Each structure stands twice: as C-alpha cells, then as structure tokens.
Amino acid sequence: MQVTIYHNPRCSKSRDTLALLEARGIAPRVIEYLKTPPDAATLDKLLTLLKLQPRELMRRKEAEYSLLGLDKPELTRNELIAAMLATPRLIERPIVVVDDQRAVIGRPPEAILSLFV
C-alpha cells in the first residue's frame, strides 16, 4: 500500500494527520506541497479522487482568495486549478492518498481513518 500525504509542517492539522499515520505504522511519502506543488494533472486527479470541485479544495479564508478574485462564478475549473498551483497556500490540507485510488482531506485528522477500513 502506497500512502502519500500532501503536508504543511506549519499546520497543526497536517502534523496531527502525519502523526496519526505514523502511529498506525504507516510511513507515508510526504510531499510538502508549499515547496513542491503538484502539477495541474496531479491536482486535477486529486480533485477527482476527493470528489470535489476546485473551490471546495480552496482555503477561501486566505487573503489571496479575495485578492485574486477567485470568488467569481465565471472562473473555469482550469483557471481555479491554475490559481492553486500559482498560490499553493490556497490548497486545503492535508490530503492523504492511498494507492493513487482513494483520497481524503485530514480535517479532522481522524477523517483519514476511512481510507484504512
């Protein structure tokens, strides 16, 4: 089983989620997405796995969301994905992926347990 976490070490929920994985004996591949953002195809696949639209994966309370005008309803999926790639702070975290086939957002961290039942 391949487990990947899109992680921000400065985020308590992300740290708690990583600790929860490690406590279960899982050594995930850790991607610090602020340093190494996913590409457009990967982010699109994550959205599909999460069954979310781009805005649902965005941190809408971040200042950049308003400053960039990302609340405009006419923005396309690709435009919203491009905004997340350009400003990865907008991506909700942490995201845990199992075998490139299932994914959840670790908010709360215990939400990831559904991946392992």
99-117 residues labelled b (16+ CB within 10 A) or e (exposed): eeeebbbbbebeebeebee
- Answer yes or no: is pLDDT of 117 > 90: no
Asked if residues 11 and 93 have their Cβ atoms less than 8 Å apart, the reply is: yes
28-37 pLDDT tens trace: 999 999 999 9
> Which pLDDT does position 79 carry in this prediction?
98
- Quick one: tokens of 102? 């299932």
Domain boundaries, the chain: 3-116
Q: What is the pLDDT of residues 49-102, one digit of tens each?
A: 999 999 999 999 999 999 999 999 999 999 999 999 999 999 999 999 999 999
- Asked whether the predicted pLDDT for residue 109 surpasses 90, the reply is yes
pLDDT of residue 45 exceeding 90, the answer is yes
Superfamily classification of domain 3-116: Glutaredoxin (3.40.30.10)
Active site residues: 11
Residue 31 β-bridge partners:
6
Question: Residue 15: its pLDDT value, please?
Answer: 98
